[in-house]
Amino acid sequence: MKVEIGTAQLAARGQTVCGDTFGVLRGEDETTISVADGLGHGPLAAEASSLFCSFVEKHAMEDLGKIIMGAHIALKHTRGAAVALVRIDSSEQRMSFVGVGNIELKALDRCRINPFPKPGIVGQRSIKLLPFEYSLSDGDLMVLFSDGISNRFDLEEFSTSPAQDLAEAILAKHGKLIDDATCVVIKCRDDNTR
């Protein structure tokens, strides 16, 4: 299975630094995608979210839940962040999701991919994890996005565009402007189709 990824990000109006951070780590079969929204705006929000994504990078081979629990400790001295992790296994055609706080995943798929995050802030107080696992089919389309993007977009409207165009279109049409906005689009295709 081929995994095509598109990303788009915009800082809140009036901010020079985006408080959201995202990461895309490609392994042999596994792709791990992280999105983090640091509490509030500006450099201190960016400090928390970028620390999360660099923690993920250093622990990319570990189980998603374990990564988040590790990051929870690593982020204690920061403001904290809402985070979500998605891992796609392209040979097994499976995906997993774990999220804490307000990062959402929306999908257009065959098998009702509909995970949701647990409330909370990574780095602050205590957090609980709820992992989701799904099998993937040819043509599945997913969008992982921070709360600077309105969740009212209709994925059908964009489904034929390349992932990068799609990410930019969602940000342009549904970004809230008053909050940092991040959007990662994931398109899955069978290797033998085009």
Instruction: Give the distance, in angstroms, between the CA of residue 60 and the centroid of all CA atoms in the same chain.
Output: 15
Q: Which is nearer to Mn ion, 6 or 175 (CB)?
A: 175
Strand partners, 35: 22, 84
3-state secondary structure of 148: coil
Alpha-carbon torsion (171, 172, 173, 179), positive or negative = positive
Amino acid at the residue 186: I
Q: Which of residues 127-156 bind Mn ion (CB under 5 A)?
A: 147-148
Q: What angle do CA 160, 162, 165 make, to 5 degrees?
A: 110
Choice from 7, 9, 179, 184 touching Mn ion (CB under 5 A): 179
Question: CB of 140 within 8 A of CB of 190?
Answer: no
Asked if 104 is part of the footprint of Mn ion (rule: CB under 5 A), the reply reads no
Mark the segment that binds Mn ion (CB under 5 A) among 9-17, 130-138, 150-158, 175-183. 175-183
Both tokens of 42, joined, read 């500006």
Minimal CA–CA distance to 8: which of 148, 136, 188? 148
Q: Which is nearer to Mn ion, 136 or 171 (CB)?
A: 171
Q: Which is nearer to Mn ion, 141 or 175 (CB)?
A: 175
Q: Smallest gap, in angstroms, from Cβ of residue 162 to Mn ion?
A: 26
Q: Which is nearer to Mn ion, 47 or 179 (CB)?
A: 179
Q: Smallest gap, in angstroms, from Cβ of residue 3 to Mn ion?
A: 26
Mark the segment that binds Mn ion (CB under 5 A) among 10-18, 73-81, 105-113, 172-180. 172-180
Rounded Cα–Cα distance for residues 67 and 41 (Å): 24
Q: Smallest gap, in angstroms, from Cβ of residue 144 to Mn ion?
A: 14
Q: Which is nearer to Mn ion, 37 or 109 (CB)?
A: 37
Minimal CA–CA distance to 185: which of 194, 177, 161? 161
Q: Which of residues 28-47 bind Mn ion (CB under 5 A)?
A: 37
Q: Which is nearer to Mn ion, 27 or 43 (CB)?
A: 43
Q: Which residues bind Mn ion (CB under 5 A)?
A: 37, 147-148, 179
